[in-house]
Structure 1
Amino acid sequence: MTDTHSDPADALTTQQQHALFDILTHHETYKEIEEFKYPGAVKSYGPPFQDELTKSDAPILQNLLSKFVLRLPGLREVSPDFWKTRVADLIEELSKAELSESYDKGLLGVRKTLATAISALIEYPARAALAGVPKREQQRGAKREYDLASAEDVMGSWHDALQEAVYGNLMDEMFAKAAETDDLERHPSLVRAFHEYVVVNIASLMHYTLVLSPEGPTMLRMISNVHNMLPYTIIRQTLKIGNVASMLTAMMKVILAKASLSTVTNWMGLTSGADEGMNLLQQIISQVLYWDKRELKKRADKIEKDKSGPPKEVLSELRNWITQRSRGEHEECRRQSKDQQMSIVAIIMATSSQSIDNLKETQHAQALEYLTLQLGIRDRQEIVRVMCHRNPDHLTAGVRDGVDAYTPMIRHVHQAVNLSDTVWDFEQFVTDMLKTSKPSGAKGQEKPPSVEDYVDLLHRHQQSCHKFLHQVAKNGKEVTGWWREYVHMAASQFKKDGPASSKAPASGPEASLLSAFTKLKPKEQKEVTAELDAWSEYLDDLHAASATRIASIIARSGSTPFGPGAYLARWQHLLDGTVITPDKVHGPVRYGGSKSVREESGKDVDGGEGGEFRQVEGADAGVRGEQAEAPGVARTVGLLGGGFREMIGGG
């Protein structure tokens, strides 16, 4: 390796340094999440799963977990078994289940959608926790008035509030004011402005998740099913019990009690490990997934009975590939499919005694669909097996551990707040959200919900949240103290020494990356620099487009089809980059952004378009039309990605 710069600080501009850090955290965060699909990943995670490990194979996730999650009031009191046994075993069991890949299914499933969404969201606090939030030389947040009708003021309030929260006393002021009133209008204009900023961004996220994403209709249907199955009336009546211990005992019986012969025989020692049946929580999980399996099986049976469909031997081989081939064989088939530009079905047949040559194009399409259906059925069977039929039952035990840890907090909140009313407010919110998420208009002229519809939804129900926080802050001084202490601790994790300046030297991970960059060969540096410049321009375009959309929402200048938030573009980038099997026997691989993949992903389990929550045609046009296209950064990730994990992991 050759140092081409005597001073590392001269190697990259400040913008290029930020772009490099942004690229690598973006890819590293998703890579760490994705690696949890492999067995053994949790065993090299480090604390809280393995206290003896000082170096984690998932440094970003471990850093966030250690700094923020493990210190949460209540959760910090859970027993070590909660993490080392309950959570770790559930993660490991799901990994061993080898749930299906988007590549094989030919679509973006709910798991892929949620995994990419989580990655796109948590990479922001991950970057801030690693590099810190630079302190501005002059803070102005608490010393000016903000106009909520001004998009510039609303957007500026977020950055000002962040400065005041990390380096000022904004959090103490908010706690004090929340104890005084539940009226948002009595808070300072800074709080009201950044509250509006948060509302718009949450609405944007909800709109994107439930309306624009291909799996939106499926998620809405599942939320609706769970919502309809929850015994809200019983829960509200139970929460009215005055004695906290009696209330918790009754609530645990409602949610977690099992009643079967195996429960008794296992307790008496007559049997060991017999399935004790399911509690209410597990019954809801099992029933919702059973409805999905039933619809998927109907479609699979239809293909099996189709006289002009694929031969029985082909369908049998596809089932055998799912259930009898190893993970290694599955991965090898995917590799061959990509390398040879053949569909996954064609490769499966090529590695078996069956021939793909005699399949007509329509039969091949049916075979691909059949593989998708069988994978969907197996996924749901495995999830139910791990979550509902496992013995020992780690899910139930984990919930009990959590309730035990949170009992002191529940006791204080129960005394401070009418929790029965809180549950009623939550029920009304979910009902209203489901109603808002349905297309509106005459048949054939339906229009999808807009971002403004979700902003209005949150505005309608925000008072319920304000009321709850006010009652806790006013009547639960001790629990409020716990959360105040936690918020101060969390904010301190984002502090950074030295003022923000374009001339300030790089520090922390950015300084390490700068040093690594100087060790690249001149040709490699040139390639990386070109990608950094393109990525920096891409980020500028994202933020400019986001600012335009938030201004449109605040001004109510129209119906916004795609909300603000650069994280939405990052999320879409991860989805669009997902590699998908070719849909022809011979053909190029597709990606999550391909039209055929989006159309297939938008279908519900019954093969329809989502029923009452169907995705209106062209609903994602705003995403495709306004979103800047992410430039390629493969060279940067390839040259510096591996070393970046070592840097942040302490290697």
Structure 2
Amino acid sequence: MSSTTLSPRQLGALFDILVHHETYSEVKTFKHPEAIENYGYPFGTCTQKQKDGESPKSLSPLLQLLFTRLVLPIPGLRDLPSKFWATKFRSIMKRFGEADLSDSYDKGTLGSRKRLASAASVIHESVTRGLLTGIPNDKLPNLYATYDPHTAEDLARAWDDVVHHLVYGNLLDELFDHLTKTPNLEGHSPAVNAAVDYAIIYIATFLHHLFVLSAEGPYLLKLIDNVHGLIPYTLVGQTLRLGNAGTMINAMVRLFLAKVSVGAISNFLGFTRNASDGMNLLQRIISLVLEWDASDFRKAVDSIRRSKEGPSESHLAVIDAHLQASRGEHEGIRGLSQNDNMSIIVAILETRDKVLTESLTDKQHAQCLEYYSAQLAIRDREKITQALCRETPDLTTTIVEDGVSVFEPMIRAIHRNVDIRKHINSVENFLTDLIRTSKPKKKDSGQAQNGTVPPSVEDYVALLKRNRQLAYDYLHEFAGGCPELRTTWFKWAKSSLEFFRQPPENDKSPTEGHDRYSFGSKEMSRSLQALFDGIPEDKQNNVKAALDAHAEYLSALECMSWARVQKIIDGVDGRVEANGNMSGPGVYITRWHCLLDETIVTPCTPRGPPRRGKEVKGVKALGKTEAIAKSESWDSKALNEQDEQARPEAPDVSIVVDTLAQQFKDLVAHISSKGLPLN
């Protein structure tokens, strides 16, 4: 056993590494149907045996911790029957797992699902950290002190002060009462005012990364624009005019969920049973958007097929046959490609006929990669449409109906006391403003491409500041007009914040300087130290070296983040260059990029080692490139390169993951299972 005691800074680095790894590992498992089967409560029992009267351990413990502590108790959701989670939701998640959707490795680029899943993982990671360790139980600061809105340090201090008061003070009570009286949230105190500005900068940075720095940004924006154009806002508004809440709800449900196909009528009359009853408006919106999307990829496929110097029909036929293969065959070919340093195309062709690879030119190989990527994109959209819109039983419709049913009492109360039409119009206006803000701006600048420049972080800050009053107005009307619902949601928020508390006796441990990543949770510190003590002594020095390097890395990220906050503040105040900032703050934004950078993708040449996501982060998939007009796009690869040059390079911490990841997973599974029903 080890007698080495890790410092608070080292413990903080260890915790950060393990949470980061475990969170994304759990997210990735949902590519397989077994993930939801082994999730545990509330989706059913796990395959692991129950011991000592505890609930079975989940194989996705961090996700279960977040879901059971914060999501399941949400008013409305907590009223859903257990059958909803264990049967309906579980079944639709299983459908997606069984669909065998494409992998970034095969497509040779980072797709929308990869980017969104990794972003969600990082957000989940930040919340889970608080659930596992709590917020330091320090003396409550003065919210009415002076906070300079023009300095990053004061905005960050205001955010920390507000969080401390939310968790340990009465700020939540005060904010609910304040919004009952006025829609001016920032008027509560100088700390709340500065904290809102700080939050806006971080949300704006996230939107900027999603729609500007991401190569998929213009494509995602097009999808949002398509959905936005299909939603019948006018008809929704007219339906909301109905004075009787029950009539209004029934009309809205019929508008979006009613099916009038021949199959639906014959099922209703009893002439058929489980016949395909078509799609309702909600499903038609989903299927139309995905079909429009797939049509762009079909054009790309047809272009390659028509190319005179393109691959032969024999090459394309083998690729098409592989698309229809089983999941096991797909994974086998993927493994062969990685292990033997050959592209996914060469691996596919060689397993069928090695002669096909001998006749393949480099240009044809590149076209085969593009062809395979486009065909995978088409297949993905067909599988998603099938799972959501065409399979029997229709889980999508029943899930929405169950959701409407449990939220109906709230909807009735809000309909009686709040003008919902006005706020639906606010949502429509915000989405229109978001789409407009995310388009390139005309600029007379030598640095502009085609006379335009991409949106800056400041543009998204301005977007949020223009529209934040829309949210405040709704909260004010809700808080003032629906006192019973206000109390219900207040109790949920209050009980949720209690999960972030540290016991009173757990005073903050001594830290090294003011590094916010130093560890102060005594209970988790003891657990992490015990994990470290279990490492063979010959490995401990190497693990400690990795922890020290990671602690330095986190400190460097924090300094960089604060500097970027200051630059954006200066930009909003008009004190920086006209083109604005193309990089925003956030340690977790950087960790998002790390997940993308570490992704393995197929080599672009017939032979060679796999590439990393960092090399293809700015590359758009074939089909998406043609779908977006050049006037509505920009060089995201160049923007990413500029952003990466300013970021410190993450150290190699694989020894920590390899040594302690499984033990940490077991620890979290034990914590997550506490207090859950026995299955």
When normalised by structure 2's length, the TM-score is 0.92
Q: Matched residues in 2 for 1:68 and 1:184: separation?
A: 24
What residue number does 1:67 align with?
69
1:156-194 alpha-carbon deviations (Å, 9 max, x no partner):
111111110111111001011000101235211111111
- Please state if 1:80 is matched with 2:82: yes
Q: 1:515 aligns with which of 530, 544, 561?
A: 530
Question: 1:605 is aligned with what amino acid?
Answer: K
C-alpha deviation, 1:54, in angstroms? 2.3
**8 Å contact from structure 1 (residues 439, 448) kept in 2:** yes
Match of 1:587 in 2: 608
The one-letter code matched in structure 2 to 1:473 is A
- The whole-number CA distance in structure 1 between the counterparts of 2:64 and 2:350 is 42
Letter of the 1:54 partner, please give it: P
2:587 corresponds to 1:566: yes
- Are 1:447 and 2:453 counterparts? yes
Partner of residue 644 from structure 2, selected from 584, 599, 624: 624
Q: SS state of the match for residue 617, structure 2?
A: helix
Tell me the SS of whatever aligns to 1:620.
helix
Distance 1:116 1:600, change over 3 A: same
Would you say the 8 A contact 1:286–1:384 is kept in 2?
Answer: yes
In the other structure, the counterpart of 1:525 is: 540
Provide the rounded CA distance (Å) in 2 between the counterparts of 1:465 and 1:307. Answer: 56
* Contact kept? 1:104, 1:580, Cα under 8 Å: yes
Of residues 225-234 and 442-451 in structure 1, the stretch that sits farther from structure 2 once superposed is 442-451
> 1:506: Cα distance to partner?
5.6
Write the deviation string for residues 57-106 of structure 1: whole angstroms up to 9, x where unpaired.
Answer: 00000000000000001111112232122211111001001000000010
- 2:195 is aligned to 194
Query: 18-27 or 127-136: which moved more?
Result: 127-136
- Identify the range of structure 1 (20-29 vs 543-552) with the bigger mean alpha-carbon deviation: 543-552
Q: Which residue of 2 aligns with 1:462?
A: 468
C-alpha distance in 2 between matches for 1:175 and 1:20: 38
How far the C-alpha of 1:200 sits from its partner, in A, is 1.1
Residues 176-220 of structure 1 show CA distances to partners (whole Å, capped at 9, x for unaligned) of: 100010123521111111111111111111111111112111110
Is the 8 Å Cα contact of residues 296 and 627 (structure 2) preserved in structure 1?
Answer: no
One-letter identity of the residue aligned with 1:543 = E
Asked if structure 2 preserves the Cα contact closer than 8 Å seen for 1:73 and 1:486, the reply is yes
Aligned mates of 2:507, 2:483 — CA distance in 1: 36
Q: Distance in 2 between matches of 1:640 and 1:445?
A: 52
After TM superposition, the structure 1 = structure 2 runs for residues 424-439 of structure 1, keeping only pairs within 5 Å, are: 424-439=425-440
- Aligned 1:233-632 pairs, distance under 5 A: 233-323=234-324, 325-354=325-354, 355-441=356-442, 444-497=450-503, 498-502=506-510, 507-556=522-571, 557-558=575-576, 559-594=580-615, 597-601=616-620, 605=624, 607=626, 611=630, 613-616=632-635, 618-632=638-652
**Is 2:212–2:218's contact at 8 Å kept on the other side of the alignment?**
yes
CA contact (8 A) 2:211 2:217 kept: yes
User: Normalising by structure 1, what TM-score?
Assistant: 0.96
**Counterpart in the other structure of 1:231:** 232
| Offset of residue 336 of structure 1 | 1.6
Moved more, 548-557 or 438-447: 438-447
Cα distance in 1 for residues equivalent to 2:534 and 2:124 = 30
Pick closer, same or farther for the CA change 1:510–1:37 going to 2, 3 Å.
farther
Q: Are 1:282 and 1:388, in contact at CA under 8 Å, matched by a contact in 2?
A: yes
Map residues 92-111 of structure 1 onto 2, 5 A cutoff: 92-111=94-113
Aligned amino acid, residue 135 of structure 1: N
Question: What SS class does the counterpart of residue 499 from structure 1 fall into?
Answer: coil
Distance in 2 (alpha carbons) for counterparts of 1:505 and 1:121: 22
Q: Output the aligned Cα RMSD.
A: 1.6
Give the alignment partner of residue 17 of structure 2, picking from 23, 28, 33.
23
What is the CA–CA distance in structure 2 between the aligned matches of 1:602 and 1:321, rounded to whole Å?
20
Q: C-alpha separation between the residues in 1 aligned to 2:14 and 2:563?
A: 26
Counterpart of 2:89, as a letter, is V
Structure 2 regions of 5+ residues with no counterpart? 47-54, 444-448, 512-518, 672-679
How far 1:610 sits from its partner (Å)?
5.2
- Aligned counterparts of 1:566 and 1:610: Cα–Cα separation in 2: 33
Say if 1:542 and 1:627, in contact at 8 Å, map to a contact too. yes
CA-to-aligned-CA distance 1:3-49 (integer Å, 9 cap, x gap): 131xxxx4211100010010000010000011011122111111111
Verify the 8 A CA contact 1:106 1:600 in the aligned structure 2.
Answer: no
Alignment of 1:628-643 (within 5 A): 628-643=648-663
| Paired residue type of 2:19 | T
Contact 2:38 2:45 in 1 (8 A): no
Distance between the aligned counterparts of 2:45 and 2:254, measured in 1? 34
Letter of the 1:600 partner, please give it.
V
Deviation at 1:148, TM superposition (A): 2.2
Deviates more, 1:495-504 or 1:329-338: 495-504
572 and 185 in structure 1: CA distance in 2 versus 1, 3 angstrom threshold: closer
The answer to whether the Cα contact below 8 Å between 1:439 and 1:616 also exists between their aligned partners in 2 is no
For 2:31, the equivalent position in structure 1 comes to 37
Does the aligned pair in 1 maintain the 2:439–2:454 contact within 8 Å? Answer: yes
2:32 and 2:621 mapped to 1: Cα distance?
Answer: 27
CA contact (8 A) 1:296 1:606 kept: no
* AA at the equivalent of 1:514: Q
Letter in 2 for 1:66: T
| Whole-angstrom distance in 2 between the partners of 1:291 and 1:242 | 37
Contact 1:343/1:583, CA 8 A, preserved across alignment: yes
Distance 2:194 2:57 in 1: 41
Q: Are 1:224 and 1:434, in contact at CA under 8 Å, matched by a contact in 2?
A: yes
1:115 aligns with 2:109: no
1:330 CA displacement: 1.4
Residue 263 of structure 1, CA deviation: 0.2
Measured in 1, the distance between the counterparts of 2:629 and 2:283 equals 25
Size of the aligned set, in residue pairs, is 641
In 2 relative to 1, CA 626–160 (structure 1 residues): closer, same or farther, beyond 3 Å? same
Aligned equivalents of 1:29 and 1:610: distance in 2? 37
Which residue identity does 1:335 align to in structure 2?
A: G
Counterpart of 1:133 in structure 2 is: 135
**Structure 1 residue aligned with 2:515:** none
* Alpha-carbon distance between aligned partners in 1 of 2:403 and 2:35, rounded to the nearest angstrom: 24
More displaced stretch, 296-305 vs 573-582: 296-305
Larger displacement relative to structure 2 (628-637 or 63-72) = 628-637
Q: 2:595 is aligned with what amino acid? A: L
Cα distance change, pair 567–101 in 1 and its aligned pair in 2 (3 A): same
**In structure 2, C-alpha distance between the alignment counterparts of 1:505 and 1:605, rounded to whole Å:** 47
Which runs of 5 or more structure 1 residues have no equivalent in the other structure? none
Say if 1:79 and 1:401, in contact at 8 Å, map to a contact too: no
Conserved 8 A contact 1:142-1:190: yes
**Cα 1:243–1:486, aligned 2, differ >3 Å: closer, same or farther?**
same
Q: SS in structure 1 opposite 2:624?
A: coil
CA contact (8 A) 1:602 1:609 kept: no
Q: % of aligned pairs identical?
A: 38
- CA displacement 1:125-174 (0-9 Å, x = unmatched): 101101111211x2214352323233221111111111101111110010
Q: For the residues of structure 2 that align with 1:531 and 1:339, how far apart are their CA atoms? A: 27
Runs of 4 or more consecutive aligned structure 1 residues displaced over 4 Å after TM superposition: 503-506, 608-612
Give the Cα separation in 2 of the matches to 1:350 and 1:216: 36
Q: Is the 8 A contact 2:143 2:192 kept in 1?
A: no
**Which whole-Å CA distance do the structure 1 matches of 2:231 and 2:303 have between them?**
33
**Residues 135 and 496, structure 1, Cα contact 8 Å, conserved in 2:** yes
Offset from partner CA, 1:464-483 (integer Å, 9 cap, x none): 11100001111110010011
